[in-house]
Structure 1
Amino acid sequence: MSDAVPRDSPAGSLIQPLSAGLLVGIVGYASTFALVLKGLQAVGATQEQAASGLLAILVVKGLLAIGLSLRTRMPISIAWSTPGAALLIATGVPEGGFPVAVGAFLVVAGLVVAAGLWSPFGRAVAAIPITLASAMLGGILFGLCTAPVRAVATLPALALPVVVVWALALRFARPYAVPLAVLLTGIVVAVATPVPAGMLADLVPHPIAVMPRFTLDAVIGIAIPLFVVTMASQNVPGLAVLHANGYRPSVGMLFVSTGIASALSAVFGGHTVNLAAITAALCAGPEAHPDPARRYVAGVTAGATYVALGLLASFAAAFVAASPPLLIESVAGLALLGSLAGALQTALSREDERLPAIVTFVTAASGTTFFGIGSAFWGLVAGGLLLAILRSGPPVRS
């Protein structure tokens, strides 16, 4: 008699969504936790504050995924804003330091809640051409995605094996390509750059509250681009994945929930919490369970996995602090190549908006700052103005 559990038994029906949710949690964490830490440190967080921010995001998004999935009986997958972390790296430390960045995080949270509560505001956000929003995202990601090339040129003995493993994994085990690259990077860092004595003395995560400061420059230069990127590259695709799999949750409820969760996370140094886009497909698709009514278990499991991984936040921060910065950035760049490709494909998809999209892309990628405001915002402004000019009169015949 076979010892295998039948798939239609109660235990068998749980194995698939439990394993899918566990995979989502591990992959979602391992692929980009270093990017999140680098993003928080780039806007002025200390190692301890970055660890607190990572802990806050993991716990908040995990609990939110559990709550929403149980309440709606839908596989609601929650993530941190990976493109948002890349934006923070490109932005740098604002005048006034990390408290000013936290103030911007709270503004983003308020904007997301407003998008859920006030329909006209949500429609105004949706009216931003997807080509320009994607071009801005592409410009933000471009510099980071060149990090693997720069790392191979600067640290060939350390970076080249990571790139080779990533490329081979893409061929033979695509879902595990980035986690394997992260694992190999960890091994390389552990061998080549030992963690300084005393750095790992206290690995218990400690939430650290940060008193926010609000400045107009940070609202324009950090909050607005972070909000647009989060909505365009996370929330909208996340909803599309749910809709494609037959789920129709209340959009307003999701936005209000993620906005409130983002505010709670920001108090302890975390940036935006939002709907998952890529990993959402694993929770909501048939890989999680043949029966759509049972896939919510995958969302609950992914949330529980994130909460458990929050206990590793201090170790992760110490690990990243001891690593060669360019090597860590190269792994993040590998993880974001797919996002860059998707952003550029969408940005160039409409011929009549192609030039404004390119203007948005090159401006955002330039890293230029005007009046203390970062290039991501100016990219959206420049592309939007050119698009308005091109549409201001009757079409010109050649």
Structure 2
Amino acid sequence: MERSWTQPVGVGVVTALVGFTSSFAVVLAGLQAVGADTAQAASGLAVLCVLQGAGTIWLSQRHRTPLTLAWSTPGAALLVAAAGLQIGWSAAVGAFVVTGALLAITGLWPWLGRTVARIPAPLAQAMLAGVLLTLCLQPITALTVSPLLVAPVIVVWLGLQRLAPRWSTPAAFLLALALIVGDAVLSGQGVTLLAPVVSLTVPTVTWTAVVGIAIPLYVVTMASQNVPGVAVMSAAGYAVPWRESLLLTGLGTMAGAGAGAHAVNLAAISAALPASAEAHPDPRRRWIASTTAGVTYLLLAPLAATLTALVAGAPPGVIESVAGLALLGTLAACLAAATADPGERLPAVAAFLVAASGVSALGIGAAFWALLAGLAVRTVLRPRDPRAAEKPRSGRHARV
């Protein structure tokens, strides 16, 4: 009886801790890139923890299924790439509201979900890879700025990638945090525990923010989080309440946008642990793990202000290096998926290059133009003969 509780509870705590420590730096970087100050970024991080924690508890308890919610890490990386737009924090918040509305509408209107699904997966993955590239280069550039602090972080991450991959990024973050605290103490600044704050911003909806942030954020969240999240749960033998999940995450994103929450969605990679036999041998008891993960996220929310202040005062490149290391696996997976099909390779490369360039035009960021460029190249290169399009060539499919 004891094991029936302790095993899933332990797995749930691990799920939340790994999910939080491995990507919260990306979230802070993304929010600050689109105009949030330290207090607003801390508010966004705290509210995201509350939203995904409460939503996870609700879905797990209601369906007795190990459903887990998460913030959109790829979406946060996309925000980093949108820094050049300089649209202002209020417009960014407006884009978050629109993103939440699109997620909720997808739950009510299946046509919208099918439309997103028709975007060729290699192009979506290539766009995300281009967005991630800038962040993943940070450990390299940071070595030239703060080598004594960054080098140990990279060494620990690389060593644990071989010995215990799941803990590589959390361990790298904890080491970086220890180094930051030590640097603050030695410099006489010290470390102060800060009370959690919620900083509200009135959203402003502008077409540049909608096209440059909201639509790419929605596409990335659907393609890289919600759809894979359903696939992970299906592989584990669980059905996902699709409409309810999208309504919950979409409305939750809209409610939290004013406080800085950019997007809440189904967990993808982190969803596998609570849904596995590692959580409990009995599939009917694994919901305890996801419920525990939700509770743990609620307990982590009050730490957001303190962690944000530490990140803000960190030596240059240290936290950015952790964020880049955390996303290397995602970058590798995106590049592999984008170039796996020879027939889609050139369009994917075009999308990748445009996204990685960071260029903006007409006030619209590179992610949107990357999709258009990939689709344009794909349209030009597709065979004109319908009979040729029906014949698979090197794994290529006529319909996507």
TM-score clears 0.5 = yes
Question: Whole-Å Cα distance in 2 between the matches of residues 325 and 370 of structure 1?
Answer: 30
Deviation digits for residues 47-79 of structure 1 (CA, Å, limit 9, x no counterpart): 111111111100011000000000111101111
1:37 shift after superposition: 1.0
**CA distance in 2: counterparts of 1:103 and 1:297, whole angstroms:** 36
**In the alignment, does 2:209 pair up with 1:223?**
no
> Contact 1:166–1:177 (CA<8 Å) still a contact in 2?
yes
Q: Structure 2 counterpart of 1:164, which letter?
A: V
Conserved 8 A contact 1:196-1:322: no
**Distance in 2 separating the partners of 1:198 and 1:118:** 53
Cα distance in structure 2, aligned partners of 1:134 and 1:105: 21
Residues 330-388 of structure 1, C-alpha deviation per residue, up to 9 Å, x if partnerless?
Answer: 11000000000111111112111110000000110001111111111100000011111
* Equivalent residue, structure 1, for 2:77: 86
Q: Name the aligned partner's letter for residue 351 of structure 1.
A: P
Partner of 2:352: 361
Deviates most, 155-164 or 59-68: 155-164
Give the distance between the partners of 2:263 and 2:256, measured in 1 at CA: 8
Task: Please point out which of 33, 40, 60 is paired with 2:31.
Answer: 40
Residues 114 and 352 of structure 1: CA distance in aligned 2, closer, same or farther (over 3 Å): same
Cα separation, 2, equivalents of 1:115 and 1:194 = 49
Give the length in aligned residue pairs. 388
Report the equivalent of 1:338: 329
How far apart are residue 93 of structure 1 and its match? Answer: 6.1
What's the offset of the Cα at 1:325?
A: 3.9
1:98 counterpart (85, 89, 92) = 89
Which residue of 1 is the match for residue 68 of structure 2?
Answer: 77
Q: Per the alignment, in what secondary structure is the counterpart of residue 17 of structure 2?
A: helix
1:5 aligns with none
Q: Confirm or deny: 8 A CA contact 1:195 1:319 kept in the other structure.
A: no
SS at match of 2:105: helix
Give the whole-Å Cα distance in 1 for the aligned partners of 2:353 and 2:262.
Answer: 26
Compute the RMSD of aligned alpha carbons.
Answer: 1.8
CA contact (8 A) 2:61 2:287 kept: yes
- State the secondary structure of the residue aligned to 1:344: helix
Report if the CA contact (8 A) 2:347-2:375 is conserved: yes
Shift of 1:92: 0.8
Q: CA deviation at 1:197?
A: 7.6
The corresponding residue for 1:23 is 14
* Equivalent in 68, 89, 107 of residue 116 of structure 1: 107
Alignment partner, residue 375 of structure 1? 366
**How far apart, in 2, do the equivalents of 1:304 and 1:13 lie?**
18
1:249 partner SS = coil
Bigger shift: residues 65-74 or 84-93: 84-93
Q: Tell whether the 8 Å contact from 1:142 to 1:340 is kept in structure 2 after alignment.
A: yes
Query: Match of 2:216, SS?
Result: helix
Q: Residue in 1 aligned with 2:284?
A: 293
CA drift of 1:313 comes to 0.9
Q: Letter of the aligned partner of 2:306 in structure 1? A: F
Aligned to 2:65, what secondary structure does the other structure show? Answer: coil
**TM-score, normalization by structure 1:** 0.94
2:155 pairs with 1:164: yes
Q: Is the 8 A contact 1:195 1:322 kept in 2?
A: no
Aligned mate of 1:126, from 106, 110, 117: 117
Indicate conservation of the 8 Å contact 1:41/1:47, yes or no.
yes
Percentage of identical aligned residues:
48
Contact kept, 8 Å, 1:199 with 1:318, in 2: the verdict is: no
Cα deviations by residue, 1:2-48 (Å, 9 ceiling, x for unpaired): xxxxxxx2x22011110110001111111111111111111111111
Structure 1: stretches of 5+ with no match in the other structure: 1-8
